[in-house]
Structure 1
Amino acid sequence: MNGLLHTLSAAGPLAAGWGIHGLWMRRRLTAARRDPLSGLWTREAFESRAARTLARRPHVVVLLVDLDGFKAVNDRFGHAAGDAAIRATAASLTDALNERPGAVATRLGGDEFAAVIPLTEPGGLPWLLRGLHHEITAPFRHAGRDLTVGASIGAALSSDLTSEASRPGEALGALLRLADEAMYAVKRAGGGWHYPAMSAPAAGTTAGRRTGRPGTHTTYRKGAA
């Protein structure tokens, strides 16, 4: 009996050590899946989580966000100011996602971001887009100055997809393309947000910078910018 107690007492610190090591490893793995500047998920981690959300939720919005005036901030106030703009945008996206289980966001690179957000009802999309645009374009503090950037936000709803793109992996790609088209359309109009109606492709109707690829021909519903 004494031998068993001695063995257990000796194993205790070792088990505790492995527990701490496991926690450390999990934190390292999580950190490796995060963009070091914004703190958002990397593209690969985002895609796997976004696919799960699309598979489980009936109404999901996919957003693409591109900052307007970002280069001007970099050129005038330095790269540290540009980094502050990236972090402020990531914080705005995180705030929008916090109370929405299944929501996920990523920094695609540079000043471009993507997010997948479940909705209770599609009718709430304009309020979400309006609020997010307002928060991203609000002043942020850097080196004693209040700086601002603009934003162009394009949106696409999963419930508007055709059955041909209903599988989660294919759906994410199709929705990102449509959101990209919507984002580029509103950027050409001066910034804001835009949600296109994803109906059947209209002959001769083209939009955006990736015309010719699958999912880039669409009829636009009048949005807000």
Structure 2
Amino acid sequence: MNSTMRLPGRIGPNTLLLIITAAAAPLTGWAVHAATLHNRLAATRRDPLTGLLRRDAYTTRARRLLARHGDDLAVVMVDADHFKQINDSLGHAAGDAVLAAFGTRLTTWAGPRAAVGRLGGDEFAVVLELTPGRREQRLQQLVRMLHTPVTLDDERTVDVAASVGAAAPDVLGTRDLTVLQRAADAALYDGKHSGRAVLATAEQAAVPSINGRRAGRPGTADWRRAA
């Protein structure tokens, strides 16, 4: 039996449209499927609460920025202060609102070309272009932003604060993201609850860490003195 499709010698416009539509249907289906997969992949790259990059996506982007821009960058670690008290006293919805607000503030502060990630819990990280001459002003600005009260949906306000540590390739002599984050984390804990940002020194870069957290506490160094 010959299964070849036979078309009339003269094809009208309506018939041609049906043929084109039938042929395009599988392609359209694949296009929708591909778009769906792309959206799902994009969703897995971002934290659903804050909209910030998840750890793996942040790390990939951060390393790319460090490779491209070198010494005109800074790695900034941020840790919310007294966050457990907010959850315990006001509820987890209030805690989520604070985290979401921090995500928005970090994104606004860092700009669209930065890598801004939520590493887990109330810990955030940023890699952005930040030249030595602007470090003091910009880090002071970030601290002020993160100490501005958060307004909840029910109009209550929550007093918030965060500790900030930074590390710069030109100060530490490395572009290794792991080393820079460890140093920034050490600087953050030296300035914990102090209301100021701390720029890491070479001494802090040598501090060992366990799961990204410090195993010791070297002497405190104000980032303004270390710059």
TM-score (norm 1): 0.80
Residue in structure 2 matched with residue 76 of structure 1 by the alignment: 89
AA aligned to 1:130 is Q
- Confirm or deny that 1:177 pairs with 2:187: no
Residue in structure 2 matched with residue 36 of structure 1 by the alignment: 48
Give the counterpart of 1:193 among 169, 194, 197. 197
**The residue matched to 1:223 in structure 2 has which SS?**
helix
Deviation at 1:190, TM superposition (A): 2.6
Deviations 1:130-179 (A, max 9, x none): 111111211111122011211110000122233xx44xxxx000000110
AA aligned to 1:45 is A
For residues 51 and 221 of structure 1, the distance between their equivalents in structure 2, rounded to whole angstroms, comes to: 26
Unaligned runs of 5+ in 1: none
Deviation at 1:18, TM superposition (A): 2.2
Residue in structure 1 matched with residue 142 of structure 2 by the alignment: 132
Count of residues paired in the alignment = 207
Is the alpha carbon distance of 1:172 and 1:150 closer, same or farther for their aligned partners in structure 2, counting shifts above 3 Å?
same
- Confirm or deny that 1:56 pairs with 2:73: no
Q: Are the aligned partners of 1:196 and 1:219 in contact in 2 as well (CA < 8 Å)? A: no
For residues 75 and 165 of structure 2, the distance between their equivalents in structure 1, rounded to whole angstroms, comes to: 8
Give the counterpart of 1:17 among 29, 35, 38. 29
Deviation at 1:34, TM superposition (A): 1.2
**The residue matched to 2:166 in structure 1 has which SS?**
strand
Unaligned runs of 5+ in 2: 1-9
Q: Are the aligned partners of 2:45 and 2:57 in contact in 1 as well (CA < 8 Å)? A: yes
Deviation at 1:211, TM superposition (A): 4.7
Q: Are the aligned partners of 1:151 and 1:192 in contact in 2 as well (CA < 8 Å)? A: no
Residue in structure 1 matched with residue 107 of structure 2 by the alignment: 94
For residues 118 and 206 of structure 1, the distance between their equivalents in structure 2, rounded to whole angstroms, comes to: 25
- Confirm or deny that 1:122 pairs with 2:132: yes
For residues 83 and 13 of structure 1, the distance between their equivalents in structure 2, rounded to whole angstroms, comes to: 44
Deviation at 1:118, TM superposition (A): 1.5
Is the alpha carbon distance of 1:154 and 1:22 closer, same or farther for their aligned partners in structure 2, counting shifts above 3 Å?
same
Residue in structure 1 matched with residue 168 of structure 2 by the alignment: 157
Q: Please, which moves more after superposition, 14-23 or 51-60?
A: 14-23
Deviation at 1:220, TM superposition (A): 3.5
- Confirm or deny that 1:141 pairs with 2:151: yes
**The residue matched to 1:64 in structure 2 has which SS?**
strand
Is the alpha carbon distance of 1:222 and 1:106 closer, same or farther for their aligned partners in structure 2, counting shifts above 3 Å?
closer
Give the counterpart of 1:27 among 5, 29, 39. 39
Bigger-Rg structure (1/2): 2
AA aligned to 2:81 is D
Is the alpha carbon distance of 1:157 and 1:87 closer, same or farther for their aligned partners in structure 2, counting shifts above 3 Å?
same
For residues 87 and 179 of structure 1, the distance between their equivalents in structure 2, rounded to whole angstroms, comes to: 22
Is the alpha carbon distance of 1:210 and 1:53 closer, same or farther for their aligned partners in structure 2, counting shifts above 3 Å?
same
Is the alpha carbon distance of 1:194 and 1:77 closer, same or farther for their aligned partners in structure 2, counting shifts above 3 Å?
same
For residues 61 and 218 of structure 1, the distance between their equivalents in structure 2, rounded to whole angstroms, comes to: 21
For residues 155 and 222 of structure 2, the distance between their equivalents in structure 1, rounded to whole angstroms, comes to: 42
TM-score (norm 2): 0.79
Identity %: 39
